[in-house]
Structure 1
Amino acid sequence: MEHLGTLVAGQSACSLRLSSHVSSYENNDPNLVFSPLSFQVALSLVAAGAAGRTLDQLLTFLCPGSDPNSSRTNLTDVFSKVTCLALADGSKLGGPRLACANGVSLDKSFQLNRQYETMVSAVYKADIKSVDFQRKATQAVRKVNSWVEKATKGLIKELLDPSFVGPTTVFILCNAIHFKGRWAEKFDPSRTTKDDFHLLDGKSVKVPFISSQKGQYISKYTDFSVLRLPYNQGRDHKRQFSMYIFLPNSNDGIRNLSEKLYSGPEFLNQHLPTEKVAVSKFMVPKFKISFEFEGSEVLKQLGIDLIFGGDRGDDGLSEMVELESHVAYPLVVSGIIHKAFIEVNEEGTEAAAATAVIGYGCAPTIPQTENFVADHPFLYLIREDMTGVILFVGHVMNPAVDA
């Protein structure tokens, strides 16, 4: 197994690359929240049942820079050793409440490959259910949606529309993530005031801004600033979660800054604030965002096309389901649905995401003070700092647009 630091660096690189394409492809919405981690875990469930060139393509994408001979092992290690650590619930120790759940819904006329079933049960702790897509598709979708809603504490409702499945549907693979963290230092609601947030079109909207006179983790650079807002750690000394806000100096600088941030983990790691500074003016808008998209085209743009049936001569997803000899068509992915939610206020952050893959046959004192006024479009992410795992990524263009 490769060093965990190398594995996390690869996972982060994949997260940022995914986020970049989602951000540019889904540019009709003013605000964005996306969990690259949920998307990656769902694709990992697909990779566990893939073979041939389809598997190679997934491993190259999910484990960039890994030795091809050990990529499959590295992928399971990223989930079992790194992701599980980052997503373990810390609420009993006073830290953030976290949950990560995986599910496999398989049409009752099919049977999972024994090795695949063992893998998703033992490593991914997946909840495996038998459903009837052929005759009771609506009921089957209702079961999947209910499972997702429960796993995300009610934040993600109706992940799938019944029209997404039908008689040819064989499986649905799901991942759901829930995060709820309190700031290490809560903000006083009485200091929250409404002020102008400047939009890209030159207009402005009045929105509530969180404010404080306490020192903050801020680092300043030539054309942007970075704020770190740590979440309460409690007695969970193995992990530290933080939200990072990347704020361009100019009101319209988010595009250039996003290109830098999404370029790779090196830029991110080199610009994380480590010391508190005194602040003279500090304002961050409250915001609530819901976002959903279908990810097939994003993956195809990234070169992941074989899971959709790009090569009929390839082994494809042959290691997922036991196909009887009379079944002439191969398994392919027909769609990938992702939904996410985030709310940021004086208390902290609550966020959730779910991804479904549908398949069918075929502290030192600083003398000067700093300002951090996020009154124009900015980028943000939620990260576990000790492992470097990125949970959520997004941008705020207009906080007045409520979820």
Structure 2
Amino acid sequence: MEHSPESKTNTLFNTDFCLLFTNQILENEAAKGNNFVASPLSLHVMLSLIAAGSKGQTLQQLLHFLGSTSVGDLNLLSLKIINLASPAENVAGGPLLSFVNGAWLDQSFTMKSSFEEIVKGSYKAELKSVDFVTKAEEVVKQVNSWAEAATKRLIKDLLPVGSLKSDTALVLANALYFKGAWYQQFDPSSTQLRDFHLLNGQTLQVPFMTTNRYIRHLYGLFDGYKVLQIPYQRGQDARIFSMYFFLPDEKEGLHNLIQKIKFNPGFLNQQFKLWLEDLPHFWIPKFKFSFELEASKSLKEMGLKLPFKPGELTEMVDSPNSDRLYVSDIFHKSRIEVNEEGTEAAASTAAAFRFLCATFPTVLK
């Protein structure tokens, strides 16, 4: 998404985190020959909220991981993103975009007032009191219903059965939804089957969309890859939405492109020199797929480890045992469909927090 000149959200958001996380998933999925879609934005906002409830080395690790210097900056960025995507911004037409947050706290606890203020104020989340001790599976269904409604039924079963336990204390979740129509839509009668090359060397026949006339698009040639921008229909406000397609020059060049991005900080923040060009019969794949993962393993492999250990997530729950709270799981689901009319996509992330049970020494007689 592009922004009006007065908006600086794009310069504040850490696109390097996006690319590193994408590369981490790519390395894990490439060997399987799987497509994947994920929303680093959804994960970034979730980790920002976790940072707001942490202190000490855990907080510093989160700030470094997210490329920020303070929790205040992260909260401000999240608020800007949520305001930009709020339903009130969609009344003027154009793409539909929404970003919502939710929190579910066990009824035996209260949230620290400072954290509750951030949850409700900066993240505009509704806080619900629930019973994890005896009704954990009911809470699973409740969170899943919330995510499904927030994503227009694109994201279902965000939390797996059995993912919440009797010792779960808190669940934080967000949901992102987008639907936009192309500024110039494709003719379905021109869609054809063509070769699509997978990372594992296999070739599949998939439907490709094309145009039957010359259309002016922003386009650029770079060292080893091409970039094509396709805009969505605009509303009456200042927001501009586009999809960018990055195409490696070589058939098996995606890995090299990802490495180029990975080792060039700020790659996506640079101003790509694209120029308007009349493009005849360019081909864009028509696709629909979804992806899910429990993200804690990938995040740990990237160096984020302390939030998954008890000790310093003490600023969330008002409890004498707050130093035993830790992130047990981070579930993420994404889905996207690109067709002749436009794009519909959604993503949702949920983080579950548990208390580490105290252990007592065995007395031998």
- TM-score under structure 2 normalisation? 0.89
> Does the aligned pair in 1 maintain the 2:16–2:267 contact within 8 Å?
no
Residue type matched to 2:22 in 1? S
Deviation at 1:166, TM superposition (A): 0.9
Deviation at 1:266, TM superposition (A): 3.3
Report the CA distance between 1:162 and its aligned residue. Answer: 2.5
Question: Does 1:17 pair with 2:20?
Answer: yes
Deviation, structure 1 residue 58: 0.9
Alpha-carbon distance, 1:172 to partner: 0.7
| Distance in structure 2 (CA, Å) of the matches to 1:220 and 1:229 | 15
Letter of the 1:296 partner, please give it. Answer: S
Query: Deviation of residue 265 (structure 1)?
Result: 5.6
Q: Check whether the contact 1:14–1:61 (CA below 8 A) recurs between aligned residues.
A: yes
- Residues 235 and 7 of structure 1: CA distance in aligned 2, closer, same or farther (over 3 Å): closer
Once the two structures are superposed, the pairs formed by residues 363-374 of structure 1 within 5 Å of their partners are: none
Matched, 1:158 2:157: yes
| Counterpart position of 2:345 | 351
Q: Distance in 1 between matches of 2:128 and 2:241?
A: 33
| Structure holding more strand per residue | 1
- How far residue 85 of structure 1 moved from its aligned partner, in angstroms, is 4.5
Q: Could you say which residue in structure 1 is the equivalent of 2:147?
A: 148
CA contact (8 A) 2:336 2:343 kept: yes
Counterpart-to-counterpart distance in 1, 2:185 and 2:276: 16
Structure 2's unaligned 5+ residue stretches are 1-5, 357-365
SS in structure 2 of the partner of residue 289 of structure 1: strand
1:123 counterpart residue number: 122
Q: Which amino acid aligns with 2:75?
A: T
What is aligned with 1:35?
A: 39
Contact 2:82 2:98 (8 Å CA) reproduced: no
1:87 to 85, 88, 92: 85
Distance 1:193 1:186 in 2: 16
Q: In 1, Cα distance between the equivalents of 2:96 and 2:7?
A: 24
What are the Cα deviations for residues 169-206 of structure 1, in whole angstroms up to 9, with x where unaligned? 11111011001111111111122122222334554322
Do the aligned partners of residues 264 and 78 (structure 1) sit closer, same or farther apart at CA in structure 2, a change above 3 Å counting?
farther
What SS does the corresponding residue of 1:32 show, helix, strand or coil?
A: coil
Q: Name the CA distance, whole Å, in 2 between partners of 1:273 and 1:184.
A: 21
Per-residue deviation, 1:318: 0.6
Distance 1:220-1:77 versus aligned 2 partners, 3 A rule: same
Q: Which moved more, 1:276-285 or 1:120-129?
A: 276-285
Question: Quick one: structure 1 residues 250 and 271, their matched pair in 2 at CA, closer, same or farther if it must change by over 3 Å?
Answer: farther
Structure 1 residue corresponding to 2:58, chosen from 44, 54, 58 = 54
Q: Secondary structure at the match of 2:73?
A: helix
Letter of the 2:220 partner, please give it: S
Of the two structures, which has the highest relative contact order with CA contacts closer than 8 Å and spacing of 6 or more? 1
The residue aligned with 2:318 is 322
Q: Which residue of 2 is the match for residue 399 of structure 1?
A: none
Distance in 2, matches of 1:271 and 1:8, equals 12
Q: Say yes or no: does 1:257 pair with 2:257.
A: yes
TM-score, normalised with respect to structure 1:
0.81
Q: Provide structure 1 residue ranges, at least 5 long, that are not aligned to the other structure.
A: 363-403
Runs of 4+ in structure 1 over 6 Å off: none
Number of equivalent positions? 347
Q: Return the letter of the residue paired with 1:24.
A: E
For residues 341 and 301 of structure 2, what CA distance do their matches in structure 1 show?
A: 39
Q: 1:44 to 1:263 in 2, by over 3 A?
A: same
Please give the alpha-carbon distance, in whole angstroms, between the structure 1 residues aligned to 2:281 and 2:137.
53
* Alpha carbons of structure 1 residues 9 and 128: separation in structure 2 relative to 1, 3 Å: closer
Which residue does 2:231 correspond to in 1?
230
Structure 1 residues 19, 86: CA separation in 2 closer, same or farther (over 3 Å shift)? Answer: farther
**Residue aligning to 1:339:** 333
Instruction: Return the letter of the residue paired with 2:224.
Output: D
Give the match's secondary structure for 2:132. coil
**1:164 shift after superposition:** 1.0
3-state SS, counterpart of residue 154 of structure 2: coil
Using the TM superposition, give the Cα deviation of residue 306 of structure 1 relative to its aligned residue in structure 2, in angstroms: 0.9
* Separation (CA, whole Å) in 1 of partners of 2:264 and 2:175: 25
Question: Helix, strand or coil: the match of 1:233?
Answer: coil
| Structure 1 counterpart of 2:327, one-letter code | V
**Does structure 1 retain, via aligned residues, the 8 Å contact 2:33–2:200?**
no
How do 1:93-132 and structure 2 match up within 5 A?
A: 93-132=92-131
Counterpart for residue 360 of structure 2 = none
Query: Percent identity, aligned pairs only?
Result: 43
Give the whole-Å Cα distance in 2 for the aligned partners of 1:7 and 1:347: 27
CA distance in 1, matches of 2:94, 2:322: 51
Residue 307 to residue 275, structure 1, CA distance change in 2 (3 Å): same
Partners of 2:210 and 2:283 within 8 A in 1: yes
